[in-house]
Structure 1
Amino acid sequence: MENLFRRSGIDVPEPVRRFLQGETDTWLRVEEYRDGTTLVVRTDIPGIDPDKDIDITVTDDALHIAARRSEPAHKDQPGYRSEVRYGEYSRSVPLPRGANPDTVEASYIDGVLEIRAQLPEQSGTSTTKVHVSRGGTQSPEAPENFVT
């Protein structure tokens, strides 16, 4: 599609070009993993000021990330061409049960936002046996342990 615009000499506004090329995503792509008892969520957001352009909140057992990347001042200069996405982006990541929102920490290094949340220590998987009560009478042909 980009080559078509370039060959035809059509000056297509940036938002329209991005839409036609399928760049309509406004959500952040993340990777998440557990490092011991810590949930780690990472996303690439280069070219922003983390003090002004990132908002991180924890509500309803979910981590909410919002980021903004503003277009540069030189965008109106002759010959300007950009393949960088600008605008507002967001993502909500569910936190595992028992995660303490007060332990969430974030860092921004070399364009990568990393968020860490402490998880409760789990002592393996626990199994609880559930008793099945009989709701009616047992049929004569059913085995003794068969629940009807």
Structure 2
Amino acid sequence: MFKHLLPRLRERSVAVRRPASLADLMEDFWREPATALGPLFRDMAYPAVDVSEAEGVVTVKAELPGLDPKDVTLTVENDVLILRGEKKFEGEEKKDDYHRIERAYGSFSRVIPLPGKVKEAEAKANFDKGVLTVTLPRDAEAAARSIPIQQS
């Protein structure tokens, strides 16, 4: 009945970068019923990240064990940090008989919403012991401002 309205509702939620709404979940279910429950498990995304803020600096820490910094790229676009990379397969040894391979390989991408405007030019990244730490100073000029209400 409301199926024709769902694309418009979805466009609105994407435009304001809201979490998935019921309309988004229903649209996904009608498009691909087998994978529609995927958004419910977003917390299991790779890589695992921590986002914190202190004294006007946003800090993002991502666990990237087994990767080199050259295998990872970072970009900031529209108040989101985009982390992309590739974990390469280490090559199969013919003498080993594998019974199970659980480690994941291949390309990955993670979009991390930032809690406000940041100064991209002053961003810094450090990679130490498999943990990528990105620091992004907040843009004080773009901070939310209150609007005084006048009584007429």
TM-score between both structures, scaled by the size of structure 2: 0.59
Shift of 1:74: 2.6
Q: Secondary structure at the match of 2:92?
A: helix
Looking at secondary structure, tell me which structure has more helix per residue: 2
Match of 1:42 in 2: 61
Runs of 4+ in structure 1 deviating by more than 4 angstroms, as ranges, are none
Please tell me the residue identity of whatever aligns with 1:60: N
Pick from 95, 103, 109 the counterpart of residue 128 of structure 2: 109
Note closer, same or farther for the CA distance 1:77–1:67 as it changes in structure 2 (3 Å cut).
Answer: farther
| Structure 2 counterparts to residues 1-148 of structure 1, below 5 A | 27-51=46-70, 53-74=71-92, 77-80=95-98, 81-121=100-140, 127-131=146-150
Equivalent pairs counted in the alignment come to 108
Q: CA deviation at 1:104?
A: 1.0
State the distance in 1 between where 2:94 and 2:85 align: 23
* C-alpha contact (below 8 Å) 1:47/1:111 kept by paired residues: yes
Q: Gapped runs of 5+ residues in structure 2?
A: 1-40
Please give the secondary structure, in 2, of the residue aligned with 1:72: coil
C-alpha RMSD over aligned residues: 2.9
Q: Cα–Cα, structure 1 residues 56 and 78, in superposed 2: closer, same or farther, change >3 Å? A: same
Cα 1:94–1:72 change in 2 (3 A) is same
SS at match of 2:103: coil
Displacement of 1:31 after TM fit? 0.8
- Identity fraction in percent: 24
* Structure 2 Cα separation of the partners of residues 56 and 71 of structure 1: 22
Secondary structure at the aligned position of 1:46 is classed as: coil
